[in-house]
Amino acid sequence: MALITTDEQESLREVMKAFLARYSSEEAVRAVMDGPDGYDAKAWQMAAEQIGVQALAIPEDMGGAGYGFDELAIVMEEAGRALFPAPLMSTAVLATSALLAVGGPQAQEYLGRIAVGELIATVAVSEALLHWDPADVTTVAETAGADWRLSGTKPYVLDGGQAGLIIVAARSTAGISLFAVESGADGMTVDPLDSMDQTRRLARVSFDHTPATLLGEDGAGWEALAGVYDQALAALACEQVGGAQAALDMTVAYVNMRQQFGRPIGSFQAIKHRCADLLVEVESARSAAAYASTAVAAGADDAPVAAAIAKVYCSRAFYHVAAECIQMHGGIGFTWEHPAHLYFKRAKSSEALFGWPSHHRERIATLIGLG
């Protein structure tokens, strides 16, 4: 979702739209919501085989497609538009960027498995807080001979119940480090959580002297996670833009169809003004997300500020558009049968994901020297 996209990137968008029309229709989304897995395994594999979604940001020498964050951002926008219920954020954004940041043979082996759709992975960082803060990491990493053991709890792990690999931020004597824990490891307990947004699964993951593999250098984990956080915020902003656009499109279609006093309610001035305001919000959010994506992709110095601004503005825009979507649909918008509430729930859960906007406002102030 760069400021200026290429023809190849727009072709990727069209391919992704066609894929999601088949595998992330409202019917498909509701089927996954009601299922135990949280995602459609066939759709996940098709995304890897037909489009190479999971491989986009992975270098070719590691088994990936060799593209970058700009292409991944386009995928995230379209996935948000269709509420694609899949471990895309956790695997293609969080885990992939964390593994690329730490490097090493073990990380490369995991990346190769992610690229072909074989491995679902996620990152577990926050504990008492929703945002990422080094002081919040209290999970302990201790050596046991030549091995490592983890003890602690990560209460909100994105796709923790679906992941075959969890990259855990834990505190060793050298500082915060990153560790790989594969599903089924001794001493690891995964408890799926009930959440308002059923299209995005969360789990509470506990470790009790769980065997783990050190990724990268001991004590260098937080430095790696800083860049991962910026990518996560930018990717989430792109996803929020896609969701907001879908909610707006749904609203405009309805007000042009719904008749009142012998004319479409969209012809009433009050409705026109509300829709116009929503359009301005969505386009402004698109600009914020596009700049953040470009900054992150280029490794720009202002990437942390741009990502935080995008998180704040896009969270507000998506929530407002989704709420107005329900309001302008009237009574039907509140019913389970209508998709408007699915976007509203996604908007609310996305607002909290990776930290509330209030936290990021404070972070922006600190980053620009006002805090």
Look at residue 64 and give its three-state secondary structure: coil
Q: Are 7-119 and 223-367 equal in CATH topology?
A: no
> How confident is the model over 100-114, as pLDDT tens digits?
999 999 999 999 999
Q: What is the arithmetic mean of pLDDT over 207-235?
A: 97
Q: What is the arithmetic mean of pLDDT over 25-35?
A: 94
- For residue 94, give both structure tokens: 């969080």
Percent of the chain with pLDDT over 70: 99
Lowest-confidence region among 48-62, 129-143, 208-222, 257-271: 257-271
At 347, the pLDDT band (50, 70, 90 cuts) reads very high
- For residue 293, give both structure tokens: 């994506």
CATH topology of domain 223-367: Butyryl-CoA Dehydrogenase, subunit A; domain 3 (1.20.140)
Residues 234, 236, 238, 239, Cα dihedral to 10°? 170
Q: Is the pLDDT of residue 82 over 80?
A: yes
Residue 1's pLDDT is what?
64
Q: Is the pLDDT of residue 190 over 70?
A: yes
Q: How far apart are CA 131 and CA 74, in angstroms?
A: 24
Q: What is the arithmetic mean of pLDDT over 313-335?
A: 93
Q: What is the arithmetic mean of pLDDT over 84-91?
A: 97
- For residue 152, give both structure tokens: 């602690």
> How confident is the model over 161-171, as pLDDT tens digits?
999 999 999 99
Q: Is the pLDDT of residue 11 over 80?
A: yes
Thinking of the domain 122-219, which architecture would CATH place it in? Answer: Beta Barrel (2.40)
Q: Is the pLDDT of residue 2 over 70?
A: no
**Mean predicted lDDT score pLDDT of the chain:** 95
Q: Is the pLDDT of residue 267 over 90?
A: no
Residue 103's pLDDT is what?
94
Q: What is the arithmetic mean of pLDDT over 258-287?
A: 90
Its pTM stands at: 0.96
At 333, the pLDDT band (50, 70, 90 cuts) reads confident
Q: Is the pLDDT of residue 126 over 80?
A: yes
- Specify whether the CB–CB gap between 238 and 286 falls below 8 A: no
At 51, the pLDDT band (50, 70, 90 cuts) reads very high
Residue 371's pLDDT is what?
65
- Specify whether the CB–CB gap between 278 and 285 falls below 8 A: no
- Tell me how far the alpha carbon of residue 328 is from its chain's centroid: 28
Q: Is the pLDDT of residue 39 over 70?
A: yes
CATH topology of domain 7-119: Butyryl-Coa Dehydrogenase, subunit A; domain 1 (1.10.540)
Residue ranges per structural domain of the chain:
7-119, 122-219, 223-367
- Specify whether the CB–CB gap between 157 and 205 falls below 8 A: yes
Residue 123's pLDDT is what?
98
Q: Which of 171, 172, 180, 169 is nearest to 214 (CA)?
A: 180
Q: Is the pLDDT of residue 195 over 70?
A: yes
Percent of the chain with pLDDT over 90: 90
Q: Is the pLDDT of residue 233 over 90?
A: yes
- Specify whether the CB–CB gap between 117 and 52 falls below 8 A: no
Locus of tokens 């995304």: 47
Q: Is the pLDDT of residue 61 over 80?
A: yes
Q: How far apart are CA 298 and CA 70, in angstroms?
A: 9
Residue 306's pLDDT is what?
98
